[in-house]
Chains A and B, each alone.
Chain A
Amino acid sequence: MSAVTADSTYDVDAIRADFPILSRPMRGKPLVYLDNGATALKPQAVIDAEIEYLRDISANIHRGVYELSERATILFDEAREKVKRFIGAPPEGEAIFTKSATEASNIVAFSWGRHFLKPGDEILATEIEHHANLIPWQEVAKQTGAELRFVELEESGVITADAVEAALTDRTRVVAVTGMSNVTGFMPPIAEIARLAHARDAIVVLDGAQLVSHHPVNVAELDVDFLFFSGHKMCGPTGVGVLYGKRALLDEMPPLLYGGDMIVRVFKDKATYKPAPDRFETGTPNISGVIALGAAIDYLSAVGMERIAAHEEFVLDYAVRRLSATEGVVLYGPSDVRRRGGILSFNVGETHPHDVGTILDGEGVAVRTGFHCAQPFMRFLGVHGTVRASFYLYNTRDDVDRLVAALDRVQEVFG
């Protein structure tokens, strides 16, 4: 496999300068941040957007007739339009703000699933799912009498369209699948899966928690029915998630939470509800977070998602080659980096992932260790956890060199 070459116009130093935390040390050493799968660092523009709202506006949305409330409402509504443009939402689609990707997933499972699934219906999921796209469906299956079934995986956790087709039946009502594994970075063929599912009249729920922050996504082209993702993994603040859905489905779904701002008329004994997004956004939302997510989308769009994805592939390709050549390191996931986003899971001999993580921490290298909220996938891989390095727009091949050098320390202590 030939090495991926650099995009000479991609100025990673300028990008790094936008992230204040990258100039601060960890454990007394320059920070190498490789835990982007858990959350991304925040650029100054996002920090500023959140602070400016808190300092200069502060008012609630949709409720006041005064200037500050008007400004808050405009910024909040603009953020929604930015989100929709960012994922290529068609006019017949809508975006709902939630507190997390997990909450968005639960809205689909408990509002759509619990309302529309019947005994004998089938939910098709995969063993590579994050718990957030698995456990809600387990519970809904229990509550509705639907059956939870799984696509057969190929070695290293690859999902093929053929395997999905083989698992679909006339009873399949929903396919719950990730766009990018948070363990191996593998990206299933979503457009093809959606086409196969729709041929059986099943809907597709796409977990975009990793995919949306790392790759260009167009929901109209993928033709998925629901997509959920989190803001903090795409340089936004924590506490904001997004649920995209087709309006025709959303407007048939009962609300999950009831209260102010989601109603049309309220009487003593009953109320009527607005359509999406309001019907799913009762209560004062995370206004500062949503506005800052809008700033994160502006930031990522200015760099360009195509270029970010290409840069990550450039770094990942190097990381795969360096770690493959490191004694004692076992890599998981498909070897072809074009089938995966910038995530790399590995183990170092028999050393427990937490011990590896602690020694890397001592060298200023931040990685994630453990199950990655994907216990069934860990069982499939036959491991008791992995070490995960995940890359983003500001990572460099130098970061990979620092990781590899720190792994030498692991061998010194445990080898």
Chain B
Amino acid sequence: MNMGDDLYREIILENYKSKKNRGALESPAFHQEGVNPSCGDDIELYIKSDGERITDVSFDGMGCSICLASANMLCEAIRGMKVDEAERLIDGVKGMLTRNEVPDFPDGAEDLEAIQGVANYPVRVKCALLSWNTLNQILEEIRGESA
């Protein structure tokens, strides 16, 4: 097996090329930019929420395949989720990529296991985590508003 095959799996390339979740939402309730200054990944995450659930989500920006595929998977996974479920999912993704934890993702989020290979490329972990860290900032904001 060539090095890189564990990283650039078909499912990642499909998510990277997908345009389904790209572009700004119209009048999103929440909007946050995420930047990795060392490599130039630069994304924006848009979220609509009724306070309890994430009713819609999209993203836009520039980045490598890992960054953009991860952001696309994020959108697919969290649309319709409760805020606390999304928080648990962020922790699950971080655990898989930074603490070697075996992932146990809920139904509809299993695609995320495809980015597990990124954990073997420490300098690329930040690419995969950018959208999730950005989501975390928005969830804190949602929590703050409903508190």
- With A370-B38, A413-B13 as given contacts, are A352 and B64 in contact (CB-CB < 8 Å)? yes
B63 → A minimal CB distance (Å): 7
| A358 interface hit (Cβ, 8 Å) | yes
Tell me if A370 and B40 are in contact (CB < 8 A): yes
* Residues of B close to A363: CB separation below 8 A: 2-3
Give the distance in Å from the alpha carbon of A6 to the alpha carbon of B96 in the complex.
Answer: 51
**Which residues 49-77 of B sit at the A interface, judged by CB distance below 8 A?**
62-66
| B43 interface hit (Cβ, 8 Å) | no
* Residue among A358, A363, A414 facing the most chain B CB atoms (10 A cut-off): A358
**Which residues 1-16 of B sit at the A interface, judged by CB distance below 8 A?**
2-4, 7-8, 13
Interface residues on A, range: 20 to 34
Tell me if B38 and A352 are in contact (CB < 8 A): no
From B2, B40, B65, B66, give the contact of A384 (CB < 8 A).
B40
* Residues of B close to A414: CB separation below 8 A: 8, 13, 65
- With A28-B3, A413-B13 as given contacts, are A385 and B40 in contact (CB-CB < 8 Å)? yes
* Residues of A close to B4: CB separation below 8 A: 358-359, 361-362, 409, 413
| B130 interface hit (Cβ, 8 Å) | no
Tell me if B3 and A362 are in contact (CB < 8 A): yes
| A24 interface hit (Cβ, 8 Å) | no
- With A359-B8, A413-B8, A413-B13 as given contacts, are A354 and B39 in contact (CB-CB < 8 Å)? yes
A50 → B minimal CB distance (Å): 27
Tell me if A371 and B64 are in contact (CB < 8 A): no
Give the distance in Å from the alpha carbon of A27 to the alpha carbon of B7 in the complex.
Answer: 14
| A355 interface hit (Cβ, 8 Å) | yes
| Contact pattern, A 350-387, Cβ under 8 Å of B = 1, otherwise 0 | 01111100110111000001110000000000001100
From A28, A351, A352, A362, give the contact of B63 (CB < 8 A).
A352
| B124 interface hit (Cβ, 8 Å) | yes
B92 → A minimal CB distance (Å): 24
From A355, A361, A409, A413, give the contact of B64 (CB < 8 A).
A355
Give the distance in Å from the alpha carbon of A385 to the alpha carbon of B36 in the complex.
Answer: 13
**Chain B interface, >50% SS class:** loop
Give the distance in Å from the alpha carbon of A353 to the alpha carbon of B62 in the complex.
Answer: 12
A132 → B minimal CB distance (Å): 16
Give the distance in Å from the alpha carbon of A163 to the alpha carbon of B62 in the complex.
Answer: 33
B4 → A minimal CB distance (Å): 4
Tell me if A409 and B38 are in contact (CB < 8 A): no
Tell me if B39 and A385 are in contact (CB < 8 A): yes
* Residues of A close to B90: CB separation below 8 A: none
Tell me if B3 and A354 are in contact (CB < 8 A): no
Tell me if A27 and B40 are in contact (CB < 8 A): no
* Residues of B close to A359: CB separation below 8 A: 4, 8
**Which residues 319-369 of A sit at the B interface, judged by CB distance below 8 A?**
351-355, 358-359, 361-363, 369
Give the distance in Å from the alpha carbon of A265 to the alpha carbon of B39 in the complex.
Answer: 49
* Residues of A close to B124: CB separation below 8 A: 354, 358
Tell me if B62 and A384 are in contact (CB < 8 A): yes
Tell me if A354 and B64 are in contact (CB < 8 A): yes
| B139 interface hit (Cβ, 8 Å) | no
Not counting A385-B40, A409-B2, a sample of 17 additional A-B residue pairs whose C-beta atoms are within 8 angstroms of each other reads A351-B65, A352-B63, A353-B64, A354-B64, A354-B124, A354-B127, A355-B65, A355-B66, A359-B8, A361-B3, A363-B2, A363-B3, A370-B38, A384-B40, A384-B62, A385-B39, A414-B8
The contact sample of 22 A-B pairs, CB cut-off 8 A, is A27-B3, A352-B63, A352-B64, A354-B39, A354-B64, A354-B66, A354-B124, A355-B64, A355-B66, A358-B124, A359-B4, A359-B8, A361-B3, A361-B4, A363-B2, A369-B39, A370-B38, A370-B40, A371-B40, A384-B62, A409-B2, A409-B4
